[in-house]
Chains A and B, each alone.
Chain A
Amino acid sequence: MNLLEVEDLKKHYPIRAGLLRREVGRVRAVDGVSFHIAKGETLALVGESGCGKTTVSRCILRALPVTSGAIRFATGDGEAAVDLATLPKRQIRPLRRHMQMIFQDPYASLNPRMMVGDIIAEPLKVNGVPAAERRDRVLELLELVQMPPGARTRFPHAFSGGQRQRVGIARALALNPKLVVADEPVSALDVSVQAQIINLLLDLQDRLGLSMLFVAHDLSVVRHVSDRVAVMYVGRIVEVAPTDALYRAPLHPYTEALLAAVPAPDPTRRSRRRVAQGEVADPANPPPGCAFHPRCPYAVERCRQERPELMPAGNGRAVSCHRAGELELAGVR
């Protein structure tokens, strides 16, 4: 059963100019994105800056209003799925306990004026959990994220980035959410600490059966933590596939370019690899046809004129490329 189904999600920002602030154009930050997340599954949303992955994650949590589309969320409590995209803000609030977020910057995401225990207890308090129960739950959560119980009475400034990120994770898990949105949760951390947090996330997935939307730009991290991967480029998903299949045999030329660009930690593989030329397109002014065509080494005339749709490609995969059937693309092994 799918916990979350996103259908044709759009988030446009108007560009206004002139004295009357008339709309002269639109930044199509997210332009028709569809995907689903099954119960207990981790879907990674990857792409380069400006591709819209963070906007998608904020729309799903309704931290941003949605331009159009549907976000169907099944709490699973025997109730029908609700469409978060159209629900008024007041009716979103009781649903918030089911979907929580882990932030990128562990220094900005914890209130410096609250003790760690209060930070973790805050979602419990807001949702009416009695004080005695809150205390036990906080201790339980601290243990879950491998923090000492004494951390409760300390302030965030006493902790390192990795420890703060653990606190942020504990807060996100406090209400036993059905869905956790993790926005680049390890990209601000040092290598050694990053590994600790990745392992922690893997453990939590196993132990709690978490469903997760994992937003990241680091393809190596994504390979460790996700079950499926959706690759975004200029506001659209260009390819979705189970993780292993995507890395071994990408179907979209952009996925291939992304994989080729990751420097492998192995000097003997120092490649004469082909580097994707050009720059990520501007979402305010995307190229016609396939947005990737100006950088695509396989582009043909059709790619310049006709925008490809995301089409199923078998084995739970989908790709948005006119030449998907004919190309033999290189993955990493």
Chain B
Amino acid sequence: MQQTPMAERTALAIRDLAVQFESEQGVVRALDGVSFDLHAGRTLGIVGESGCGKSVTARSILRIVDRPGRITGGHMLLDPGTPQEVDLAALDPESKRMREVRGGRIGLIFQEPMTALSVHYTVGNQIIEAVRQHSDVSKEEARNRAIELLREVGIPRPETRISAYPFELSGGLRQRVGIAMALAGDPEIVIADEPTTALDVTTQAQILALLRRLQAEKNIALMLITHDMGVIAEMADEVAVMYLGRVVEFAPVQQVFAAPRHPYTRALLRAVPSILATPRQRLSTIGGAVPHPGSRPTGCAYHPRCSERIGAICMEQRPRPVPSGEAGASCFKDEAREQAA
């Protein structure tokens, strides 16, 4: 069994996280026992299709899950194994402690930066506000810090751009401001939720390069949520593949691409269009579509679409979850292969 490198300090440990949305139509288990670790200076890529729970995971960590949703189980340990260890799942979302964590310990980068920015205030106002929320500095100091942040995220002429309104900026610059906002509280963990999905390809490359540079400079534990296998290959150290609210495979990035262990990962990789394709090259597909999380198939949730089912067990029993911190797949076929080896 391959161990992921554990040299770096574990910043956040998620254990068996479960989130439910209750409505008149019934209970939707958006997350159903999710575990993974975030390490300082490393990037965990979380990949999956719509409805797999990747965004709910991010929102749960920050305790900003929308109303009918609530955390029904599991732990989210900040600074695990240290005297300062705190379980975010047990905190009151409105508490002072949680507000300090939000932005101060964990920063969030949105897919569409306009959701994080107000149209009524200048970029500078908003970053200064964020800086002052998490550190006790004067207005002047906060302003200098804001200009420095804008420079750090590669915004040209930050002294003048600080008084721009968000709508005056292009999509790429807005996302840079979004990143500056996320970094304003000097967090050691940053969650980026599809940070480049709304951007053009050349801008995406710039933003990814920026995230890499900032991570290296600040030793940030980065959790990168995306549906794009290319972005994962480009950015991640470890990868968690999610399907219908569960992590179905966890492994170092090379291993995921070279020797994926879960049939879903394999199918997903084969289904990705390639820039190296030959003309008119067909893709191998996964039959059907992702089911609604409210009607989760029995047994292994992937079994109705799986081309590598090994028998009735896949339909009847739930495969064991991926052990946290270890590479592995939540799959009966993989278990069988492991036992044979």
By a beta-carbon cutoff of 8 Å, the part of chain A in contact with chain B is 48-49, 160-163, 190-196, 198-199, 202, 205-206, 217-221, 223-227, 243-244, 247, 257-270, 273, 275-277, 279-280, 332-333
Closest to B50 in A: A190
- Whether B273 contacts A221 by the Cβ 8 Å rule is yes
Closest CB of chain A to B235's CB: distance in Å?
A: 8
Closest CB of chain B to A285's CB: distance in Å?
A: 13
Contact of B285 among A199, A247, A269, A280 (CB under 8 A): A199
Closest to A282 in B: B170
The 8 closest A-B pairs by CB, nearest first: A263-B230, A48-B200, A195-B271, A261-B205, A192-B286, A195-B283, A263-B234, A220-B273
Residues of B within 8 A of A275 (CB): 202, 205-206, 209
Residues of A within 8 A of B50 (CB): 190
Closest CB of chain A to B274's CB: distance in Å?
A: 6
Closest to B253 in A: A267
Count of chain B residues near A, Cβ 8 A: 49
* A194 to B227 alpha-carbon distance, docked (Å): 12
Q: Cβ of B315 < 8 Å from any Cβ of A?
A: no
- Whether A196 contacts B202 by the Cβ 8 Å rule is no
- Whether B267 contacts A192 by the Cβ 8 Å rule is yes
* A263 to B286 alpha-carbon distance, docked (Å): 22
A–B pairs, 24, beta carbons within 8 Å? A160-B289, A161-B289, A190-B289, A192-B49, A194-B271, A195-B271, A195-B283, A195-B284, A220-B230, A220-B273, A223-B279, A224-B277, A224-B281, A260-B205, A261-B202, A261-B205, A262-B275, A263-B208, A263-B228, A265-B257, A266-B233, A279-B170, A280-B202, A332-B276
- Whether A191 contacts B234 by the Cβ 8 Å rule is no
* A221 to B273 alpha-carbon distance, docked (Å): 6
Q: Cβ of B28 < 8 Å from any Cβ of A?
A: no
Residues of B within 8 A of A198 (CB): 273, 282-283
Given contacts A190-B227, A279-B170, 11 further A-B contacts (CB under 8 A): A194-B271, A195-B283, A198-B273, A217-B200, A220-B272, A224-B277, A265-B257, A266-B233, A275-B202, A276-B205, A280-B200
- Whether B209 contacts A270 by the Cβ 8 Å rule is no
- Whether B172 contacts A224 by the Cβ 8 Å rule is no
**Would you list which residues of chain B between 38 and 77 have a CB under 8 Å from chain A?**
49-50
- Whether A276 contacts B277 by the Cβ 8 Å rule is no
Closest CB of chain A to B327's CB: distance in Å?
A: 14
- Whether A259 contacts B200 by the Cβ 8 Å rule is no
- Whether B289 contacts A220 by the Cβ 8 Å rule is no
Q: Cβ of B280 < 8 Å from any Cβ of A?
A: yes
A261 touching B253 in the complex, CB below 8 Å, given contacts A219-B275, A220-B274, A279-B173: no
- Whether B205 contacts A263 by the Cβ 8 Å rule is yes
Q: Cβ of B269 < 8 Å from any Cβ of A?
A: yes
Q: How many A-B residue pairs have CB under 8 A?
A: 151
Q: Which of B208, B209, B276, B286 has the most CB of A within 10 A?
A: B276
- Whether A191 contacts B229 by the Cβ 8 Å rule is yes
Q: Cβ of B268 < 8 Å from any Cβ of A?
A: yes
* A264 to B277 alpha-carbon distance, docked (Å): 11
Q: Which of A49, A257, A332 has the most CB of B within 10 A?
A: A49
Q: Cβ of B204 < 8 Å from any Cβ of A?
A: yes
Residues of A within 8 A of B289 (CB): 160-163, 190, 192-193
- Whether B273 contacts A190 by the Cβ 8 Å rule is no
* A225 to B274 alpha-carbon distance, docked (Å): 11
Q: Which of B49, B227, B231 has the most CB of A within 10 A?
A: B49
Residues of A within 8 A of B114 (CB): none
Scoring B residues 282 to 299 as 1 if CB is less than 8 Å from chain A, else 0, what string do you get? 111110011000000000
- Whether B49 contacts A220 by the Cβ 8 Å rule is no
* A277 to B204 alpha-carbon distance, docked (Å): 11
Closest CB of chain B to A204's CB: distance in Å?
A: 12
Closest to A272 in B: B209
Closest CB of chain A to B175's CB: distance in Å?
A: 11
Residues of B within 8 A of A191 (CB): 49, 227, 229, 268, 271-272
Q: Cβ of B254 < 8 Å from any Cβ of A?
A: yes
* A243 to B267 alpha-carbon distance, docked (Å): 26
Residues of A within 8 A of B305 (CB): 192
Closest to A244 in B: B279
Contact of A192 among B228, B271, B277, B278 (CB under 8 A): B271
